[in-house]
């Protein structure tokens, strides 16, 4: 509502003092609880600019829209680094063929190509086959598969009504680089260069499936148990309550390659006898995005490779935005008590009421925005 003060010259003398008090109480509510309820909203503009799919999925739920994209291996290869990067839209209910070209011609010194997709907001599926078959695909927001030469992967957006913005990345590694996820026992694809992220009540657990020696290196009798590879884990914290598309892709890119991770990320070498395998544990900060990546090293053959980064907001901002803002009950109760005390003091006290109103409003606003 709008409060319009009445000029004092039109009020009887006995009402002037009460009028000032009422004005101050309204000011308290406006400054205090108005600030406490100001919760930033999700970046809804990110999806409004996405192009619409050319076919409506409801017309034929068994027919994907089909597109073709090409990734060309350049003449001058950046070994063990990003060689192609695109941010594209996968239309709703579509199957996009990703064709790797010129690997056999330009990539004679390349051991393998890692094609990865990082999706914003929704899951997608990356597959070796034109249809989704068990054991040949990975599903999630951060997925990738390995190719050893020219070939085709398929990116499925199975969301019936939602276009999905993704980053498509081509990584090329030399012939001594270990295969990330080459000794995987967690995921359905034999070589799965992705990580498994689990949200606990107060922590985030990131598991990395073990790597294997490069395909060109003669393996020991049991290479998955005797390869003596070592690992480094990097992470980045995003700005709190920033769920925008641009920030997501910017921070993912900072950890895509080992060079980027070393330059921009923070290393986590904390281990514990209680942690089995290649596992790292981080504090869970609800509403604050975090990106993680693991790099595998082969000291004997001087090779290294990075897994596909994995990301979490530690909440579900696109399904339940309120759940991403921590609510500290004791602090709010204390703020309410202070408000009541200050309001009573304004009514019966002798200090300038306008000054008290501003002080009280500021205190309530400060308490209202404190998170746990």
- DSSP conformation letters of 144-182: EEEESSSEEEEEEE--SS--EEEEEEEEEEETTS-BTTT
Contact 81, 177 (CB under 8 A): no
pLDDT value at 112 more than 60: yes
Contacts of 279 (CB under 8 A, 6+ apart): 205, 206, 207, 208
Buried b (16+ CB within 10 A) or exposed e, 111-134: bbbbbbbbbbbbebbbbbeeeeee
Predicted pLDDT at 368: 55
Q: At 57, is the pLDDT very low, low, confident or very high (cuts 50, 70, 90)?
A: very low
Predicted pLDDT at 302: 95
How far apart (Å, rounded) are the C-alpha atoms in residues 324 and 154? 33
| Residue-wise pLDDT tens digits, 164-200 | 999 999 999 999 999 999 999 999 999 999 999 999 9
How far apart (Å, rounded) are the C-alpha atoms in residues 235 and 270? 12
How many other C-beta atoms can be found within 10 angstroms of the C-beta atom of residue 143?
27
pLDDT value at 365 more than 90: no
pLDDT value at 335 more than 70: no
Predicted pLDDT at 12: 54
Predicted pLDDT at 219: 66
Q: At 290, is the pLDDT very low, low, confident or very high (cuts 50, 70, 90)?
A: very high
pLDDT value at 35 more than 70: no
The lowest-confidence range among 64-78, 93-107, 244-258, 268-282 is: 268-282
Average pLDDT over residues 97-124: 96
List the structure tokens of 358. Answer: 């501003």
Predicted pLDDT at 224: 82
CA distances for 39 relative to 30, 112, 287, 335, angstroms: 15, 46, 12, 17
Predicted pLDDT at 127: 98
How many other C-beta atoms can be found within 10 angstroms of the C-beta atom of residue 85?
13
């Amino acid at each position: 509502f709008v409060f319009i003060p009445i000029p004092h010259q039109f009020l009887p003398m006995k009402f002037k003092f009460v009028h000032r008090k009422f004005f101050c109480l309204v000011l308290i509510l406006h400054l205090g609880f108005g600030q406490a309820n100001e919760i930033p909203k999700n970046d809804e503009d990110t999806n409004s600019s996405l192009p619409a799919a050319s076919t409506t999925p409801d017309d034929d739920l068994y027919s994907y829209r089909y597109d073709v994209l090409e990734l060309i291996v350049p003449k001058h290869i950046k070994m063990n680094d990003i060689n192609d990067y695109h941010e594209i839209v996968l239309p709703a209910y579509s199957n996009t063929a990703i064709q790797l070209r010129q690997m056999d011609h330009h990539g004679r010194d390349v051991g393998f190509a890692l094609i990865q997709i990082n999706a914003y907001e929704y899951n997608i599926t990356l597959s070796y086959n034109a249809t989704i078959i068990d054991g040949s695909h990975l599903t999630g927001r951060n997925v990738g598969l390995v190719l050893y030469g020219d070939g085709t992967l398929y990116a499925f957006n199975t969301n019936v009504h939602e276009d999905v913005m993704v980053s498509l990345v081509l990584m090329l590694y030399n012939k001594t680089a270990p295969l990330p996820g080459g000794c995987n026992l967690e995921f359905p694809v034999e070589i799965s260069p992705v990580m498994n992220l689990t949200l606990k009540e107060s922590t985030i657990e990131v598991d990395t499936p073990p790597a294997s020696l490069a395909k060109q290196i003669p393996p020991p009798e049991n290479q998955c148990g005797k390869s003596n590879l070592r690992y480094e884990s990097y992470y980045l914290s995003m700005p709190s309550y920033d769920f925008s598309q641009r920030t997501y892709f910017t921070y993912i890119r900072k950890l895509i390659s080992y060079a980027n991770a070393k330059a921009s990320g923070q290393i986590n070498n904390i281990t514990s006898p209680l942690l089995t395998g290649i596992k790292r544990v981080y504090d869970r900060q609800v509403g604050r995005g975090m990106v993680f990546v693991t790099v595998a090293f082969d000291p004997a053959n001087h090779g290294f490779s990075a897994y596909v980064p994995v990301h979490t907001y530690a909440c579900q901002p696109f399904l339940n935005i309120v759940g991403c803002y921590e609510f500290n009950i004791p602090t709010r109760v204390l703020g309410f008590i202070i408000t009541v005390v200050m309001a009573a003091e304004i009514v019966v006290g002798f200090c300038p009421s306008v000054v008290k109103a501003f002080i009280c409003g500021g205190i309530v606003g400060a308490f209202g925005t404190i998170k746990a």
